[in-house]
Amino acid sequence: MQTLVMKFGGTSVGKAEAIRQSADIVLAAKKDWPRVVVVVSAMSGVTDALLKGAHSAAAGDAATFRTIAADLRNKHFAALEALMPPGAQGQARAEVLTYLSEFEALCHAVNVLGEASARALDTISSLGERMSIHLLAAYLQSVGAKSEEVEASDLIITDAHYQSANPMSDLTRTATQARLNPLLDRDVIPVVTGFIGATQDGVITTLGRGGSDYSAAILAVALDADEVWILTDVDGVMTTDPRIVPGAQTLAELTYREISELAYYGAKVLHPKTIRPVIERGIALWVKNTFNPQHPGTQIVKDNGHTHGDIKAVTVIRG
């Protein structure tokens, strides 16, 4: 059975209209693919805001994290209100409130201690994805699709290297198949948190900033998926960062090696750890635009022998 893993970045779930567009892409793909797994990032800006709350609390500020919690509640609630009738919002609203009170309690603890450990930072920064899955899944359910939220702490088992944890492949494979296959067999679309995992003891870890791309690759390998689509806010991998050079062009095709180099040397479009697991399994990888779904995007291909000597793209690491 063909399996597709689709990952939507922060902008793709950043507000109601984006969530609707992302859901349309999921529903269209579900017509062609018997098994679809969706991985989502936190809404854009949320991970930064959570970390700002933690760091300001550690520095002695007992007020900023409370303002951040209120802003995050408004951001998530505004999206829910724009997406679905009040009767459909209940569960997602409750989940958002639960996680925001957890955020306040954790920041309070950090404030009392006067320090935020790497472990605490991971628990705090995990909350963005743990909220965003409920928005997309609730919307999919509200339009009649079968969908269920899944926290990747049940799937991706990692070491305790907080802030850039390493997945343990056998444990992850077993846990992922045990949890997701029953859903996929029933035609349910799992909406899974990007970015996070957990140790064998169940302590939350994160895979590093921008790590939701990596989550998609890890799950694709664990499920023996056929394709991974990274859905973002540009038409694919471009000749350079279009935020710096507006005339940048989309590349139709890049090899694994080329995209690895670009990612490693700072092109934010793909997390550098994403590529290796998918090449090793021969899983097809695409980078596509949520906001321009007609555009084919960029396909990442095996070395095709045509690349030597060509300069495809330019990237920069600031500072």
Asked if residues 93 and 77 have their Cβ atoms less than 8 Å apart, the reply is yes
Shortest distance in whole angstroms from residue 125 CB to ligand ADP = 15
What is the number of helices (H) and of strands (E) in the chain?
Answer: 10, 10
Q: Is 240 in the site for ligand ADP (CB under 6 A)?
A: yes
For 174, the token pair is 């077993």
Which of Mg ion, ligand ADP, ligand ASP, none does 179 bind, CB closer than 5 to 8 A by kind? none
Taking every pair of C-alpha atoms in the chain, what is the biggest distance, in angstroms? 59
Select from Mg ion, ligand ADP, ligand ASP, none the partner in contact with residue 47, using the beta carbon and a kind-dependent cut-off of 5 to 8 Å: ligand ASP
CB of 212 to ligand ADP, least distance (A): 6
Q: Assign residue 190 a region: left if phi > 0, alpha if psi is -120 to 50, beta otherwise?
A: beta
233 binds ligand ADP (CB under 6 A): yes
Q: What is the x/- site pattern for ligand ASP, positions 184-203, by CB under 6 A?
A: ----------xx--------
Q: Is 55 in the site for ligand ADP (CB under 6 A)?
A: no
Burial of residue 183 (number of CB atoms within 10 Å: 0-12, 13-18, 19+): middle
- Burial of 293 by CB count in 10 Å (0-12 exposed, 13-18 middle, 19+ buried)? middle
- Residue 10 binds ligand ADP (CB under 6 A): yes
Among residues 237, 259, 275, 285, which is the contact residue for ligand ADP, using CB under 6 A?
237
Residues 199-228 as x/- pattern, contact with ligand ADP by CB under 6 A: -----------x------------------
> Which residue, among 268, 264, 170, 252, has the nearest Cα to 213 in the 3D structure?
268
Q: Which residues bind ligand ADP (CB under 6 A)?
A: 9-12, 41, 210, 232-234, 237-238, 240-243, 262, 267-269, 313
